[in-house]
């Protein structure tokens, strides 16, 4: 288990690509590495790495990434090649699919959850301060 961190945010390394809270993007986003979205996106993405949708951010479309952290609002499909972590501030309208899915108390999910590893989704209480 060397190199594995329990929390997705703990395992992200390198400088992130950052979409500011005042930014609005319409279109397709692709890339590699660590991406943080604090703004608004209408479109799809495929990130070879970690995508974080920050608290207050909005996304309409399909999100595909290796690992995904959701703190904001998404309307669409969420597909992780590995893990999904849903924060207590998250609002998801659409499907979730990943090998491991952790859902914090307070998160709202309106749609199917598909854990591809066969394990049940994990529930947790957020203990970290923002």
Instruction: For residue range 82-92, list pLDDT tens digits in order.
Output: 999 999 999 99
pTM of the model: 0.85
CA atoms within 13 A on the CB side of 76: 18
Joined tokens for residue 29: 């986003």
What pLDDT score does 76 carry?
98
**3-state class (DSSP) for residue 113:** strand
Strands 24-26 and 40-42: parallel
Residue 3 has pLDDT above 80, yes or no: no
Q: What is the pLDDT of residues 36-64, one digit of tens each?
A: 999 999 999 999 999 999 999 999 999 99
CA distances from 96 to 4, 21, 53, 69, 124 (A): 22, 24, 14, 12, 17
103 membership: H or E segment, kind and range: strand 100-104
Distances (CA, A) of 33 to 14, 36, 91, 127: 8, 10, 24, 26
| pLDDT at residue number 16 | 86
């Amino acid at each position: 288990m060397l190199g594995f961190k329990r929390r997705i945010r703990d395992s992200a390394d390198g400088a992130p690509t950052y979409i500011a809270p005042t930014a609005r993007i319409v279109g397709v986003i692709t890339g590699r590495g660590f991406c943080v979205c604090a703004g608004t996106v209408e479109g799809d993405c495929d990130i070879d790495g970690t995508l974080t949708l920050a608290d207050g951010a909005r996304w309409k479309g399909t999100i595909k990434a290796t690992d995904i952290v959701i703190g904001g609002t998404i309307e669409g499909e969420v597909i992780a090649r590995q893990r999904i972590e849903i924060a207590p501030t998250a609002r998801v309208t659409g499907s979730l699919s990943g090998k491991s899915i952790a859902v914090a108390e307070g998160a709202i999910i309106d749609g199917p959850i598909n854990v591809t590893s066969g394990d049940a989704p994990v529930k947790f209480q957020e203990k970290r301060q923002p």
